[in-house]
Amino acid sequence: MSHPLAPAHLPRTLGDLRASGWTSEPIRQEIRRNLEARLVAGQPLVLGVDGYEDTVLPQLETALIAGHDIILLGERGQAKTRLIRSLTELLDEWIPVLAGSEVRDDPYAPISAFGRAQVAEFGDEAPIDWIHRSRRFAEKLASPDTSMADLIGEVDPIRVAAGLYLDDERALTYGLVPKSNRGIFAINELPDLAERIQVGLLNVLEERDVQIRGQLVRLDLDVLVVATANPEDYTNRGRLITPLKDRFGSQIRTHYPPTVEIEVGIMRQEARLPEVPGTMEIPWFIEDIVARVSHLARSSNVINQRSGVSVRLSIANYETVVANAVRRSLRSGEMHVVPRVSDLAAVVQSTQGKVELDVVDDTPIESLIASLVGLAVRQSFAENVVLAEVAEILAAFESGAAVNVGEDRRNEDYAAIAELIPDLAGPINRLVGDDASAGMRASAIEFILEGLYVTKRLGKDSSGARALYRARHR
């Protein structure tokens, strides 16, 4: 990722920096100042994260004002990483550092041997670099093989071979934490660190210094530490040592979107939908069903809830349903793409890799996913569709009507279904409007028929993405 270049007018030596009137400020104070300005201006802390306005975000704001190191507890797919990365927007756009410093030495108060030597040798002529806020963020995904050298640092054998003593601070090469000085250091899945590495982080969080291979090195670090963890690993039975837990000032519990509507909004915002040669419409009830599948999975007793059901499941399923509709339309030569209920069969491929089953029988995962989709259709239909004409529609089927739907049917083919069962016109219009396109009307017909099936009013014979709807007794 490229970073902006510092404006040419900024001071380039220590003397020029003093003359400019720039003042040094600890990172917590810097973040607090910028956050308070946002709050006064009525601006949100984070853009693009929905559902946290009354829960997570107020707690995060409070923690930042308090100057705390923070740990976010939550299952996968709860926007923890996005929240952490967004904190860089609370940093000043540019800060000065001594040129060449590994640890972003404050020109007024260098903490490294290199920085102190620079100021001692060059005085007011010590060169200055400017660091953009996008470079003041470092992130590490914890794993059992993460070493102390990765996080804190190590003696560099090349520097020792060049003549430096082992106890010379200049022989050290620093890890991610010291290199994050005057910035934000994020560590994801903190409990996955080996216990001895967790112990190494204690001084960073409490004393703000580092110890490398027993050397008497004190780096007075100015760093905000933010971590994430799964709640299951954060309990007394988990893998995080108690002293390290105690070092975090604030613990904030994240959660999944509390409503289907919020989940739909996130899907629309995050999904990367394919471009089509013609036009595309996505019915609201298809979005509603896709979001409900995730909500139902989060309460299902056949899915392992400890691993969570990520919002990424909703996004991936949304992309898959739309992609299947595009594929179907391209094969049939249609220029107007509209997903239908029959396209929901495609979510098996995007769901089975994102959920972990918690069942002991041999039920195929495809059947379990189909059950979730069916229940989602039933809920959406029951909550959103009023069928005053249900008796007349069912009477048409009792009189012998049978309806074929599926990916081999073009949008225009569904007009014959509406003619065969005229009483479908009212529900169709209420779902998609009187002036809806042929594709939207086709999608509404499939939704109504499937709704009647899942509420046990119609029978259905299905094969893949094709189905025949008929009277139940047939």
Q: What is the pLDDT of residues 161-176, one digit of tens each?
A: 666 655 566 667 788 9
Helix runs in 21-112, H state only? 27-41, 56-66, 80-86
Are 443 and 377 in the same domain? yes
Alpha-carbon Rg for the chain in angstroms: 30
Whether residue 4 lies inside any domain: the answer is no
Handedness of CA 403, 408, 414, 419 (dihedral sign): negative
**Do 185 and 278 lie in a common domain?**
no
Higher model confidence: residue 165 or residue 128?
Answer: 128
Tens of pLDDT along 260-281?
999 999 999 999 999 998 999 9
Residues 315, 338, single domain; the answer is yes
More confident residue, 201 or 53: 53
Same domain, 222 and 268: no
Residue 8 lies in a domain: no
Q: Does residue 300 lie in a domain region?
A: yes
Query: Last residue of a domain, which of 253, 277, 297?
Result: 253
Report residue 389's pLDDT band, with 50, 70 and 90 as the boundaries. Answer: confident
* pLDDT of the residue at 210: 62
Pairing of strands 466-470, 459-463: antiparallel
Q: What is the pLDDT of residue 169?
A: 65
- pLDDT in the model for residue 209: 61
Query: Mind listing the pLDDT tens digit for each residue in 450-465?
Result: 999 999 999 999 887 7
* Domain assignment present for 77: yes
pLDDT value of position 397: 93
Helix then strand then coil, % of the chain, to nearest 5? 50, 15, 40
* 21 has pLDDT over 90: yes
Per the domain annotation, does 153 fall within a domain?
yes
Residues 132, 270, single domain; the answer is no
Listed range (26-30, 353-357, 411-415, 455-459) with the worst mean pLDDT: 353-357
Indicate if 363 and 429 belong to the same structural domain: yes
pLDDT for 238: 56
The percentage of the chain sitting over the pLDDT mark of 70, rounded to a whole number, equals 92
Query: Is residue 419 scored above 60 in pLDDT?
Result: yes
Under 8 Å between Cβ of 31 and 90: yes
Say whether 350 sits in a helix, a strand or coil.
helix
pLDDT higher than 80, residue 237: no
Q: Closest Cα partner for 302 from 378, 398, 367, 225? A: 367
Q: What is the mean pLDDT of residues 186-201?
A: 87
Domain co-membership, 245 together with 308: no
Q: Considering 218, 253, 288, which residue would you say is the last residue of a domain? A: 253
Asked, for residue 202, whether it belongs to a domain, the answer is yes
Q: Where does the pLDDT of residue 357 fall: very low under 50, low under 70, confident under 90, or very high at 90 and above?
A: confident
Confirm if 167 and 215 have CB atoms less than 8 A apart. yes
Helices within 231-338 (DSSP H only):
231-234, 242-247, 260-270, 284-297, 311-332
Q: What percent of the chain has pLDDT over 90?
A: 67
Task: Supply the pLDDT for residue 360.
Answer: 60
* Residue 3 within a domain: no
CATH of the domain at 235: 3.40.50.300
Which of 253, 278, 295 represents a domain boundary (last residue)? 253
Domain of 91 in residue numbering reads as 14-253
User: Does 218 share its domain with 311?
Assistant: no
220 and 194 fall within a common domain: yes
pLDDT in tens, 101-113: 999 999 999 988 8
Same domain for 249 and 390: no
Q: In the structure, what pLDDT confidence band is assigned to residue 203 with cuts at 50, 70 and 90?
A: confident
Residue 385 and residue 264 share a domain: yes
- The verdict on pTM exceeding 0.75 is yes
**β-pairing, 128-132 with 94-98?**
antiparallel
Do 463 and 330 fall into the same domain?
Answer: yes
The structural domain count of the chain equals 2
Q: Is residue 316, in this structure, part of any structural domain at all?
A: yes
Evaluate if residue 234 carries a pLDDT over 80: no
